[in-house]
Amino acid sequence: MKRLFIETKYEGKLTLPKELIEQLPQKIVLAMPVQFLDFVDSIKEQLVGKEVTLFKSKHGMHPGQALGCAIEKFPGDFEVFLYIGDGKFHPTALLYENEKKVYCYNPFNNQIEILDQDYLEKVHKKRKGQLAKFLSSDNIGLLVTTKPGQNQSKKAEELRLKLEEKGKNVFVFLADDIDFNSLENFNFIESWINTACPRIVEDFKCLNWMDLAEIGF
């Protein structure tokens, strides 16, 4: 089966709130998912008088594009990130890798949020709690997608073998689209490990497979 990957574009208006512009310091790195990239010039015009640099990710196709699973430390002299989009996966990755505040503006609901070190500490505490639960769990659910670009079948198999060596009972759940509601039917699973898109952790209580490195897996 052939697959086409088509970039979708946001067709609404994108006007930064005055209160957001007033809060922003002088040196800004601008980042956003692909659907908002057509607004880069407009956003820079709204930030007239400020030094705006476009973010560049390792696997990003366009200047300004943020790919959370490929975000690394961004070089240069800047004070904060300005992230345009919804969700916290990408801005959390920016904060984690760079230790710079991330000002988030969601054009869908006009909400402003600032992610800082206090927020990151809460994320760390949540993950530590999930890691502790994983260590005490016997039955582990391993999520694997068949989607190109997200499929980690080889990594999932390596992880399955490691977990079974540690005495865990591992159940592999393979699908194109992972249906979280359906997963609730498997209530014998005590802890879920995700090998698909890392953003899944925003919508479903699980660990990304990379998190297990903290405890030697």
CATH number at residue 96: 3.40.50.11850
Assess whether 98 and 153 both reside in one domain: no
pLDDT reported for residue 3 = 66
CATH number at residue 144: 3.40.50.11860
End-to-end alpha-carbon separation of the chain, Å? 35
**Domain final position from 83, 115, 147:** 115
**Domain final position from 115, 136, 157:** 115
**Domain final position from 89, 115, 141:** 115
- Whether 121 maps to a domain, the answer reads no
Range of the domain at 210: 126-215
pLDDT tens digits, one per residue of 86-127: 988 889 889 988 889 999 999 999 999 999 999 999 988 988
pLDDT reported for residue 14 = 96
pLDDT tens digits, one per residue of 148-188: 778 889 999 999 999 999 999 999 999 888 888 899 999 99
Assess whether 29 and 85 both reside in one domain: yes
CA dihedral for 36, 38, 41, 46, sign (positive or negative): negative
- Whether 204 maps to a domain, the answer reads yes
Assess whether 202 and 147 both reside in one domain: yes
Number of domains in the chain: 2
- Whether 54 maps to a domain, the answer reads yes
pTM: 0.79
